[in-house]
Amino acid sequence: MSTFLVFVATSDGKIKRSSLEVLSHARSQAEKRGMLLAAAVVDTDATRYSDEIQSYGAKTIYAISNPVFKTHLNASLIQALSTIIETAKPSIFACASTEATKDVLGALGASFNAAVLPDVASFELTDNGVSALRPVMAAKVLSQNTATGDLILISVRSGSYDSAKSPVTAEVKNIGFQPSDFAAVLREILTSAGEKVDLSEAQVVVAAGRGVKDEVGRKLIEDLSEVLGAAIGASRAVVETGLFPATAQIGQTGKVVSPQLYFAIGISGAVQHTAGMANSKVIVAINKDADAPIFQMATYGLVGDLFKILPLLTEELRKLK
Amino acid sequence: MKFIVCIKQVPDVSAPIQIRNGELSMDSDRMVINAYDASAVEEALVLTEKHGGSVDVVLIGPDKAKETIRKALAMGADAGHHIALEDGAGLDSAAYASILKAFFEKQSYDIIAVGKQSQDTDAGLAGSMLATHLNLPYAANAVGLELEDKTLVVKRQGDTGQEMIGLPTPCLVTCSNDMNNPRIPSLKGIMSSKKKPVETYTMDSLGLDLNSLRSDVVKTNTQSYKNMPAREPGKKFDGDAEELVGTLVNLLQNEAKVI
């Protein structure tokens, strides 16, 4: 029986939602093709996730625990995933597309001489490999791609699939790991105050665009996000002006988010931005330009002045709490 | 420090795109330097202006793509390398990484800089594949670079926060377009670019064979294109702020049930 291996990424003691989405879709694909579903976990304490992983149907869990995985460094993650791939010998390896996996996917592809389908919007197994759709040309169109080979690596955009449980009892295999002497050294991690909530995992995102203009506007965004417990996002325009940190950038060159609720505030809706948020479940747009393209995709669109609407909205939401 | 920056000529993705029978058709045939690669060139120029050194660029593509090498030379790069490939159809990131590997094995360099992805395919694989082939330490998605003696210090945008990574040279870095605004070539730069050396390589001269690349290295294929499925537009409201807020809160609570 061939193996479908899913890399389950963790952050701050929690499995990332985007990884559970991939695991859920992988399970249905593995079942159709009679494959064994396995998971790979790499963490300071990888076995603590076993209960949750088996509840999503992974029958074998390959776990590597080591203190080096407290932080991300491509060399150590590549070494760990390579060790698991050599042990599990999967024919398909899938993971959620994040900055961490984008940092290692090409290297794994090159060292295993594998086919790689990065950042796909959907995929399915076929008789001779994998077929997948990828957004290309600044996310204006989808390309239909195929991959063949003994090992195919896939990364999946967040929000592409719903996560769904299907419990089994998994066999946990702890894999010994001794970090190599890496040439690259992680010196420090710089985090800004706005990163209290992990943007790419957030259930609610409040995103600011050019219409937010200044510090007064930014304060309104911060107030709204606080009452909602939301992460703050931004379009490239307000990151370039320095009003919001680069970490907040959503879009083709920034992060891809897929929350339950997305507020696009003063964002016109250029494709470079919407490429990063189109998978959101409910989109609220607030913009004074009634013709802004964002209204074409918003679930609820408010045409009006954000400087008047946001204080009232924050106040109303605060009353509900 | 000697930089070699890998650059690619790509279609201008801001031009309107149509799909006919599953094939892309663009209103404009305008080809440009990949924006991420332009940022890599810019950053290499800034660092060599500050610390000394040189910047070469290398491009794989048809004869026409030499205009993109000239563009980088006009920005200030010192020399160009053109790997001639008239028809790259059907080649994937792995194939391009293999071609670059063959090129770099015959070059001396301290730092290889590349764009983090190509703006037409957005694959983002060739850089880390090349680093792996050359057994170089690398960092991806750089938003800032500094040089400290023989170490390249990369500020990279991670999932949460920015990671500062020290890479001993020789090394490779993939660059985001967030780290700078590439300079517009000056008239003087454009004039002097015409006198700068551009060396041409063939697949043959790199010891490569296109047919065996296609059969042994290429494992992915793009079959066709289709339009992005559009979201259904929802409800749009106009009115005074109080009324709008009341309507929205009601819908979020009772229709969408998300708050």
What ranges make up the beta strands (E) of A157-250?
171-174, 185-190, 204-208, 231-234
Give the angle subtended at the CA of A47 by the CAs of A44 and A115, to the nearest 5°: 80
CATH number at residue B90: 3.40.50.620
Query: What is the β-pairing status of strands A122-126 and A185-190?
Result: unpaired
**Measured between CB atoms, does B118 come within 8 Å of chain A?**
no
Higher pLDDT, B46 or A255: B46
**What's the pLDDT score for residue B230?**
83
Q: Do B238 and A141 touch (CB under 8 A)?
A: no
Q: Where does chain B have alpha helices with state H?
A: 35-51, 66-75, 93-104, 126-133, 187-193, 210-212, 241-254
Whether the pLDDT of residue A225 is over 70: the answer is yes
**pLDDT given for residue A138 in this prediction:** 85
Q: Would residue B88 count as lying in a domain? A: yes
Residue A194, pLDDT score: 55
CB of B202 within 8 Å of a chain A CB? The answer is no
User: With contacts defined as CB-CB under 8 Å, which chain B residues touch A248?
Assistant: none
Whether residue A192 is predicted with pLDDT greater than 80 in this model: the reply is no
Q: What is the ipTM of this complex?
A: 0.95
pLDDT band at A195 (very low <50, low <70, confident <90, very high): low
Position B245 in a domain: no
> Beta-carbon neighbour count of residue A32 at 10 Å?
10
Q: Tell me if B230 is assigned to some domain.
A: no
pLDDT of residue B29: 80
Contact list in B for residue A317 (CB cut-off 8 A) is: 249, 259
**B164 and A186: CB-CB below 8 Å?**
yes
Calculate the average pLDDT of chain A.
Answer: 95
**Interface contact B233-A303, CB threshold 8 A:** no
Q: Do A141 and B225 touch (CB under 8 A)?
A: yes
Instruction: Tell me the pairing of strands A92-96 and A152-156.
Output: parallel
Name the helix (H) or strand (E) containing A34: none
Residues A39-50 have a mean pLDDT of 97
Nearest to B139 by CA among A318, A239, A184: A184
The domain in which residue B198 lies consists of 2-217
Q: Provide the number of structural domains found in chain B.
A: 1
Which pLDDT belongs to residue A193? 57
Asked if A11 and B160 come within 8 Å (Cβ–Cβ), the reply is yes
Which regions in chain B score pLDDT beneath 70? none
What pLDDT shows up at residue A105?
A: 98
Neighbouring residues of A71: CB distance < 8 A, sequence distance ≥ 6? A186, A189, B163
Query: Which residues are CB-neighbours of B190 under 8 A, at least 6 positions away?
Result: B74
Given a contact cutoff of 8 angstroms between Cβ atoms, the answer to whether A311 and A220 are in contact is yes
User: Rounded CA gap, A43 and A66, in Å?
Assistant: 6
**pLDDT tens digits for B207-219?**
999 999 999 999 9
B114 assigned to some structural domain: yes
CB contact under 8 A, B224 and A143: yes
* Interface-testing mutation among A283, A299, A309, with chain B (most B C-beta atoms within 10 A): A299
Is residue B242 less than 8 Å (CB to CB) from chain A?
A: yes
Q: How far is A229 from chain B (nearest CA, A)?
A: 11
Q: For residues A97-110, b (16+ Cβ closer than 10 Å) or e, as one string?
A: bbbbbbbbbbbbbb
Q: Which residues of A touch B240 (CB under 8 A)?
A: 304
Please write the tens of the pLDDT for every residue from B88-138. 999 999 999 999 999 999 999 999 999 999 999 999 999 999 999 999 999
Q: Does B235 touch chain A (CB under 8 A)?
A: yes
Residue B187's Cβ-count burial label (10 Å; 0-12, 13-18, 19+) is exposed
Closest-CA distance, B48 to chain A, in angstroms, reads: 22
**Chain A contact for B120 (CB, 8 A cutoff):** yes
What structural domains does chain A harbor?
3-174 (3.40.50.620), 193-320 (3.40.50.1220)
The predicted model gives A304-315 an average pLDDT of 98
User: Are residues A166 and A174 in contact, defined by beta-carbon separation less than 8 angstroms?
Assistant: no
Q: Tell me the shortest Cα–Cα distance from B244 to chain A, in angstroms.
A: 7
Per-residue pLDDT band for A197 (boundaries 50, 70, 90) equals low
